[in-house]
Amino acid sequence: MRKFLVCTLAAVLVFGAAGCGLDISEDDVNSIEGLFTEDSDKDDKTDKDDKKDKEEKDSTQFSQEDVQSWVSNLLNSMEDDQTGDLSEGLFGGMDFDELPADLQQQVKDELKEEGVDIKTNSDGSTTYVDADGSEITQNEDGTWVVTNEDGSVGQLGGDWPSNEYTKQVPKPPFGLTAASTDEYGFSVAFLGVKLEDLREYVEELKDKGFTKDVESEDTETFGIVIFSYVASNGKGYRVEVTSAMGVCGMTITKE
Protein backbone atom coordinates (compact mmCIF):
# COMPACT_ATOMS: atom_id res chain seq x y z
CA MET A 1 0.00 0.00 0.00
CA ARG A 2 2.87 2.29 1.00
CA LYS A 3 1.60 5.44 -0.69
CA PHE A 4 -1.78 4.33 -1.99
CA LEU A 5 -2.80 7.99 -2.03
CA VAL A 6 -1.32 8.37 -5.50
CA CYS A 7 -4.75 8.43 -7.13
CA THR A 8 -5.96 11.04 -4.69
CA LEU A 9 -2.90 13.18 -5.22
CA ALA A 10 -3.19 12.85 -9.00
CA ALA A 11 -6.58 14.50 -8.88
CA VAL A 12 -5.37 17.14 -6.44
CA LEU A 13 -2.42 17.93 -8.69
CA VAL A 14 -4.75 18.45 -11.64
CA PHE A 15 -6.74 21.20 -9.96
CA GLY A 16 -3.59 22.62 -8.41
CA ALA A 17 -1.92 22.92 -11.79
CA ALA A 18 -5.06 24.43 -13.25
CA GLY A 19 -5.09 27.09 -10.57
CA CYS A 20 -1.51 27.96 -11.47
CA GLY A 21 -2.46 28.48 -15.10
CA LEU A 22 -0.69 25.38 -16.44
CA ASP A 23 -1.84 23.73 -19.66
CA ILE A 24 -4.55 21.16 -18.91
CA SER A 25 -6.56 19.81 -21.82
CA GLU A 26 -10.15 18.67 -21.84
CA ASP A 27 -8.87 15.12 -22.40
CA ASP A 28 -6.88 15.40 -19.17
CA VAL A 29 -10.01 16.38 -17.30
CA ASN A 30 -12.01 13.56 -18.85
CA SER A 31 -9.35 10.98 -18.01
CA ILE A 32 -9.36 11.99 -14.35
CA GLU A 33 -13.14 12.15 -14.35
CA GLY A 34 -13.30 8.58 -15.62
CA LEU A 35 -11.39 7.31 -12.60
CA PHE A 36 -14.08 8.31 -10.17
CA THR A 37 -17.39 8.34 -12.03
CA GLU A 38 -19.56 5.48 -13.17
CA ASP A 39 -20.57 4.95 -16.75
CA SER A 40 -24.02 6.30 -17.52
CA ASP A 41 -24.89 2.87 -18.93
CA LYS A 42 -24.16 1.36 -15.54
CA ASP A 43 -26.32 3.95 -13.83
CA ASP A 44 -29.21 3.04 -16.10
CA LYS A 45 -29.07 -0.69 -15.36
CA THR A 46 -31.98 -2.18 -13.48
CA ASP A 47 -31.51 -4.26 -10.33
CA LYS A 48 -32.46 -7.29 -12.38
CA ASP A 49 -29.69 -6.67 -14.88
CA ASP A 50 -27.15 -6.16 -12.09
CA LYS A 51 -28.17 -9.43 -10.45
CA LYS A 52 -27.90 -11.27 -13.74
CA ASP A 53 -24.44 -9.85 -14.39
CA LYS A 54 -23.26 -10.91 -10.96
CA GLU A 55 -24.64 -14.42 -11.40
CA GLU A 56 -22.85 -14.73 -14.73
CA LYS A 57 -19.56 -13.65 -13.16
CA ASP A 58 -19.99 -15.98 -10.21
CA SER A 59 -20.60 -18.93 -12.51
CA THR A 60 -17.47 -18.27 -14.58
CA GLN A 61 -14.69 -20.77 -14.12
CA PHE A 62 -11.40 -19.10 -13.22
CA SER A 63 -8.00 -20.74 -13.34
CA GLN A 64 -5.22 -20.69 -10.77
CA GLU A 65 -3.33 -18.46 -13.20
CA ASP A 66 -6.16 -15.91 -12.93
CA VAL A 67 -5.86 -15.87 -9.14
CA GLN A 68 -2.08 -15.50 -9.28
CA SER A 69 -2.42 -12.67 -11.81
CA TRP A 70 -4.91 -10.79 -9.60
CA VAL A 71 -2.70 -11.21 -6.53
CA SER A 72 0.38 -10.12 -8.46
CA ASN A 73 -1.37 -7.01 -9.78
CA LEU A 74 -2.62 -6.09 -6.32
CA LEU A 75 0.82 -6.52 -4.78
CA ASN A 76 2.41 -4.46 -7.55
CA SER A 77 -0.15 -1.72 -6.88
CA MET A 78 0.75 -1.70 -3.21
CA GLU A 79 4.50 -1.73 -3.73
CA ASP A 80 4.85 0.50 -6.79
CA ASP A 81 2.12 3.10 -6.12
CA GLN A 82 0.30 2.09 -9.32
CA THR A 83 -3.28 1.78 -8.16
CA GLY A 84 -4.97 1.60 -11.56
CA ASP A 85 -8.70 2.18 -11.74
CA LEU A 86 -10.00 1.17 -8.31
CA SER A 87 -13.60 1.74 -9.37
CA GLU A 88 -13.46 -1.20 -11.80
CA GLY A 89 -12.74 -3.85 -9.18
CA LEU A 90 -9.41 -5.47 -8.34
CA PHE A 91 -10.21 -9.04 -9.36
CA GLY A 92 -10.99 -9.45 -13.03
CA GLY A 93 -13.41 -6.52 -12.96
CA MET A 94 -15.04 -7.74 -9.73
CA ASP A 95 -14.83 -6.81 -6.09
CA PHE A 96 -13.58 -9.36 -3.58
CA ASP A 97 -17.03 -10.17 -2.21
CA GLU A 98 -18.25 -10.97 -5.74
CA LEU A 99 -15.76 -13.81 -6.14
CA PRO A 100 -16.93 -17.40 -5.56
CA ALA A 101 -16.11 -18.57 -2.04
CA ASP A 102 -13.35 -20.95 -3.12
CA LEU A 103 -11.59 -18.18 -5.05
CA GLN A 104 -11.92 -15.79 -2.10
CA GLN A 105 -10.06 -18.30 0.02
CA GLN A 106 -7.36 -18.78 -2.63
CA VAL A 107 -6.83 -15.03 -2.86
CA LYS A 108 -6.67 -14.73 0.95
CA ASP A 109 -4.10 -17.51 1.15
CA GLU A 110 -1.94 -16.03 -1.61
CA LEU A 111 -2.00 -12.54 -0.08
CA LYS A 112 -1.37 -13.81 3.44
CA GLU A 113 1.89 -15.34 2.26
CA GLU A 114 2.87 -11.84 1.14
CA GLY A 115 1.92 -10.23 4.47
CA VAL A 116 -1.44 -8.84 3.35
CA ASP A 117 -4.64 -9.74 5.19
CA ILE A 118 -8.19 -9.27 3.87
CA LYS A 119 -11.00 -8.44 6.26
CA THR A 120 -14.65 -8.50 5.28
CA ASN A 121 -16.53 -6.10 7.54
CA SER A 122 -20.09 -6.22 8.85
CA ASP A 123 -21.02 -3.07 6.92
CA GLY A 124 -20.25 -4.77 3.60
CA SER A 125 -16.82 -3.17 3.14
CA THR A 126 -13.57 -5.01 2.48
CA THR A 127 -10.24 -3.97 4.01
CA TYR A 128 -6.77 -4.92 2.76
CA VAL A 129 -4.19 -4.64 5.56
CA ASP A 130 -0.48 -4.53 4.75
CA ALA A 131 2.25 -5.74 7.10
CA ASP A 132 3.42 -2.14 7.60
CA GLY A 133 0.06 -1.24 9.17
CA SER A 134 -1.33 0.67 6.21
CA GLU A 135 -4.71 -0.34 4.89
CA ILE A 136 -7.20 0.34 2.15
CA THR A 137 -10.94 -0.16 2.50
CA GLN A 138 -13.46 -0.45 -0.30
CA ASN A 139 -16.91 0.50 0.92
CA GLU A 140 -20.03 -1.22 -0.28
CA ASP A 141 -20.94 1.79 -2.41
CA GLY A 142 -17.65 1.51 -4.33
CA THR A 143 -15.83 4.37 -2.60
CA TRP A 144 -12.40 3.91 -1.04
CA VAL A 145 -10.64 5.03 2.15
CA VAL A 146 -6.86 4.70 2.46
CA THR A 147 -4.82 4.92 5.64
CA ASN A 148 -1.05 4.95 5.23
CA GLU A 149 1.53 3.87 7.76
CA ASP A 150 2.41 7.51 8.47
CA GLY A 151 -1.18 8.25 9.53
CA SER A 152 -2.18 10.15 6.40
CA VAL A 153 -5.66 9.39 5.11
CA GLY A 154 -7.10 9.59 1.64
CA GLN A 155 -10.37 8.74 -0.02
CA LEU A 156 -11.81 8.29 -3.48
CA GLY A 157 -15.45 9.36 -3.47
CA GLY A 158 -17.59 9.16 -0.37
CA ASP A 159 -18.84 11.68 2.16
CA TRP A 160 -17.28 14.93 3.30
CA PRO A 161 -14.80 13.93 6.04
CA SER A 162 -14.70 15.39 9.53
CA ASN A 163 -11.27 16.44 10.74
CA GLU A 164 -9.36 19.38 12.18
CA TYR A 165 -9.19 21.13 8.81
CA THR A 166 -12.68 20.51 7.43
CA LYS A 167 -14.19 21.85 10.65
CA GLN A 168 -12.79 25.28 9.75
CA VAL A 169 -14.94 25.67 6.61
CA PRO A 170 -18.60 25.27 5.62
CA LYS A 171 -19.41 21.87 4.14
CA PRO A 172 -19.20 22.30 0.33
CA PRO A 173 -22.38 21.45 -1.62
CA PHE A 174 -20.32 19.49 -4.17
CA GLY A 175 -19.65 15.82 -4.71
CA LEU A 176 -16.25 14.80 -3.39
CA THR A 177 -14.02 13.12 -5.98
CA ALA A 178 -10.81 12.64 -4.04
CA ALA A 179 -9.33 13.92 -0.80
CA SER A 180 -6.24 13.54 1.36
CA THR A 181 -5.35 14.55 4.90
CA ASP A 182 -1.90 14.55 6.47
CA GLU A 183 0.15 16.48 9.01
CA TYR A 184 0.44 19.40 6.59
CA GLY A 185 -3.22 19.93 5.77
CA PHE A 186 -6.24 18.79 3.80
CA SER A 187 -6.76 18.73 0.02
CA VAL A 188 -9.91 17.86 -1.89
CA ALA A 189 -10.84 17.70 -5.57
CA PHE A 190 -14.29 18.17 -7.08
CA LEU A 191 -15.46 17.70 -10.65
CA GLY A 192 -18.35 19.23 -12.58
CA VAL A 193 -18.79 22.20 -10.27
CA LYS A 194 -20.42 25.25 -11.81
CA LEU A 195 -18.39 28.40 -11.42
CA GLU A 196 -21.32 30.39 -10.07
CA ASP A 197 -21.81 27.76 -7.36
CA LEU A 198 -18.13 27.95 -6.45
CA ARG A 199 -18.32 31.74 -6.20
CA GLU A 200 -21.29 31.37 -3.85
CA TYR A 201 -19.29 28.94 -1.72
CA VAL A 202 -16.44 31.46 -1.49
CA GLU A 203 -18.92 33.95 -0.04
CA GLU A 204 -19.72 31.34 2.63
CA LEU A 205 -16.00 31.09 3.36
CA LYS A 206 -15.88 34.84 3.83
CA ASP A 207 -18.81 34.66 6.24
CA LYS A 208 -16.84 32.00 8.13
CA GLY A 209 -14.00 34.49 8.62
CA PHE A 210 -11.65 33.75 5.74
CA THR A 211 -11.07 37.39 4.88
CA LYS A 212 -7.45 37.96 5.95
CA ASP A 213 -4.48 38.35 3.57
CA VAL A 214 -6.68 37.73 0.54
CA GLU A 215 -5.28 36.75 -2.85
CA SER A 216 -7.83 36.25 -5.62
CA GLU A 217 -8.10 35.79 -9.36
CA ASP A 218 -11.11 35.65 -11.66
CA THR A 219 -9.95 35.94 -15.26
CA GLU A 220 -10.77 34.47 -18.66
CA THR A 221 -8.13 33.50 -21.22
CA PHE A 222 -8.98 31.88 -24.56
CA GLY A 223 -12.41 31.04 -23.22
CA ILE A 224 -11.06 29.38 -20.07
CA VAL A 225 -11.96 30.94 -16.73
CA ILE A 226 -9.29 30.73 -14.06
CA PHE A 227 -10.74 31.31 -10.61
CA SER A 228 -8.99 31.26 -7.27
CA TYR A 229 -9.51 32.58 -3.77
CA VAL A 230 -6.88 32.37 -1.03
CA ALA A 231 -7.37 33.74 2.47
CA SER A 232 -6.71 33.19 6.16
CA ASN A 233 -9.23 33.19 8.99
CA GLY A 234 -7.05 34.82 11.64
CA LYS A 235 -7.11 31.61 13.69
CA GLY A 236 -4.11 29.95 12.11
CA TYR A 237 -5.71 28.38 9.06
CA ARG A 238 -5.49 29.32 5.38
CA VAL A 239 -7.78 28.15 2.60
CA GLU A 240 -7.19 28.06 -1.14
CA VAL A 241 -9.96 27.45 -3.66
CA THR A 242 -9.12 26.99 -7.35
CA SER A 243 -11.06 26.20 -10.51
CA ALA A 244 -10.32 25.79 -14.22
CA MET A 245 -12.04 23.83 -16.99
CA GLY A 246 -14.58 22.23 -14.68
CA VAL A 247 -11.96 20.89 -12.28
CA CYS A 248 -11.84 22.56 -8.92
CA GLY A 249 -10.51 21.92 -5.49
CA MET A 250 -9.64 23.28 -2.12
CA THR A 251 -6.73 23.04 0.29
CA ILE A 252 -6.77 23.96 3.98
CA THR A 253 -3.47 24.34 5.78
CA LYS A 254 -2.09 25.61 9.06
CA GLU A 255 -0.11 28.80 8.88
Q: Three-state SS string across 33-95, please?
A: HHHHCCCHHHHCCCHHHHHHHHHHHHHCCCCHHHHHHHHHHHHHHHHHCCCCCHHHCCECCEC
Residue 195 confidence (pLDDT) above 70: yes
The tens digit of pLDDT for each residue in 83-117 reads 444 545 566 666 777 778 888 888 888 888 888 89
Indicate the pLDDT class of residue 76, thresholds 50, 70 and 90: low
Residue 31 confidence (pLDDT) above 70: no
Strand residues in 73-223 grouped as ranges (E):
117-120, 126-129, 135-138, 144-147, 153-156, 176-182, 185-191, 212-221
